[in-house]
Amino acid sequence: MKDRTYTALVALMGVVLGVLATLVVVKMTGDRKKFDGDYNRWRKLNLILQEVERNYVDTIDMKAMTDAAVVAALSKLDPHTVYMPPVVLEASETELAGNFEGIGIQFNVPNDTAIVLSVIPGGPSEKAGLMQGDRILKVDTSVIAGNKTPQDSMVAKMKGPSGTKVGITVKRDGAEIPFEITRGKIPVHCVDAAFMINDTTGYIRLSKFTKTTYFEFSSAAEKLLGAGMKRLIFDLRDNTGGYFDQAFLVCNEFLEKDDPIVYMEGLHRPRQDFKADGNGKLKDIDLEVLINESSASSSEIFAGAMQDNDRGVIVGRRSYGKGLVQEPVNFTDGSGLRLTVSRFYTPSGRCIQKPYSDDYAYDLYERYAHGEMTDADSMKVDKSREYYTREGRVVYGGGGIVPDVFVPMDTTKANDFFVRANKKSLQVRFASSVFDRYRRTLTSIDDFASLEKYLDALDLKGKFLEYAEKEGLVLEKSQEADFDTYMMPQIRALVGRYSKLEDEAFYRFYLVIDETVNTALEL
């Protein structure tokens, strides 16, 4: 009896629910909204949003709904057409503008406390009295030391509009010192380093193509020409791109009149060709261009132009593969759209854009997994169509710039000691401790020869091994050779960065173990 009653109740409920569902459908479809099937005017999307606004059960956030609809719609296009809310757009434009508003310092966080690496000359912090090596304890009333404050949060607290004030409390020589700093415009440099490797070979490392790139590059190149440069190693590894006009101007420095640089074309954009004017100052300089899997966009335009014109040798690993041109569309609420309007093509006709696969965002991980970083034969190259450089060499498109000379990622020296030291950030923390001890001398050194001599006399190896032993790491005899050749240049580079030479010192020490640079030098 009990079972039969239960069955009846379920059956009855099924009937009732069926009726209710039918009533709802009748009610909702009784007054159908007119849709003529024309998707070209976005009418269906507008109708749906209007219905939601008029009839949804709860209060809705129209701004969030609109933004979500835009993001969802754009996701059906290419991976680089994106909508940017105001905060994201501002950050993006600041990065490429060549300046930002803040207090004018560089810092790192080796031990859960921000340490000032350098104070930008003429900037607000220098004027207020901040010094290299200061430990930042508080920003206004917020404690940021010793509580695992994320580094991006530290930056956000220090940045702000020009003319506004911020309180910075630092620890220096055991004393806490408060400063009031008036924020201002801070230049952001894109040339990380520029120096002579030997009597005739210059080295320039460019991090991105900002609004100031051509000016910075030209100044660096002029300095190196004055020092006797006959050959340039131009390092575009990890250069994620930026403004096209800056890439075009840098290309122009190396090419003869009417040499093709790039052309662009899209459904609503007719073909536009860009050629050199012949007025470049580096046309007679031998050139090697360094690229890797994180070299993208404008850096690929440069590498492709040099490769297709047989103007320079491309050294490294296959580049990222972004062959699309984005046009900014900004709105009055501070948001914006980066809309792909064209593809760019290298002089031979290659579009180096990689396929829009489902795992597009994880492409670099896939390269690691398939062995491409260590084996040239593992590179995924679209060989369905061949292209030809000016001298008739075969090149391929559809997946980045393939280097003329492949340099694998060196994993052989990453022994157990090195891995464990990295996990503890021992090298960075040790460099900070050395600076604390030898600050006055380090900050007074402004030429590389003097810096080398000084660091040689400090016995950095012995001091580091003592430091590591206190952290529970002991170097085995079998690991000593790798330590000397691989880790010591890193340690010297990190300590050298605390001198007046800053990043120049870092790269000059580090390039000793840089296989890509050494391969380029041997060509």
What is the spatial order of strands in the sheet that 191-196 belongs to?
Answer: 191-196, 201-206, 231-235, 286-291, 313-316, 405-406
189-235 per-position pLDDT tens digit: 899 999 999 999 999 999 999 999 999 999 999 999 999 999 999 99
Residues 6+ apart with CB under 8 A from 114: 107, 108, 135, 136, 144, 145, 151, 154
Specify the DSSP class assigned to residue 176: E
Residue 36: the pLDDT is 58
Q: Within the chain, which residue ranges are assigned CATH 3.90.226.10? A: 191-406
Residue 33: the pLDDT is 56
Q: Cβ distance 159 to 102 under 8 Å?
A: yes
Fold annotation for 99-187: Pdz3 Domain (2.30.42)
CA atoms of 488 and 210, how far apart (whole Å):
34
Q: Which class does domain 191-406 fall in?
A: alpha beta
**Helix boundaries (H) for 30-61:** 43-55
**Average pLDDT along the chain, 523 residues, taken 10 residues at a time:** 37 36 41 58 83 92 89 91 86 70 84 84 81 90 90 86 91 88 85 96 95 96 98 96 95 98 96 97 98 95 98 97 92 91 96 87 86 89 92 93 94 82 87 89 93 96 95 92 93 93 93 95 94
Residue 102: the pLDDT is 86
Terminal Cα-to-Cα distance of the chain (whole angstroms)? 93
Residue 13: the pLDDT is 35
Q: Within the chain, which residue ranges are assigned CATH 2.30.42.10? A: 99-187
73-121 per-position pLDDT tens digit: 999 999 999 999 888 887 777 667 666 788 988 888 877 889 888 887 6
Longest C-alpha distance within the chain, in Å? 103
Q: Cβ distance 273 to 314 under 8 Å?
A: no
Residues 6+ apart with CB under 8 A from 471: 424, 426
Can you read off the two tokens belonging to residue 6?
Answer: 């239960």
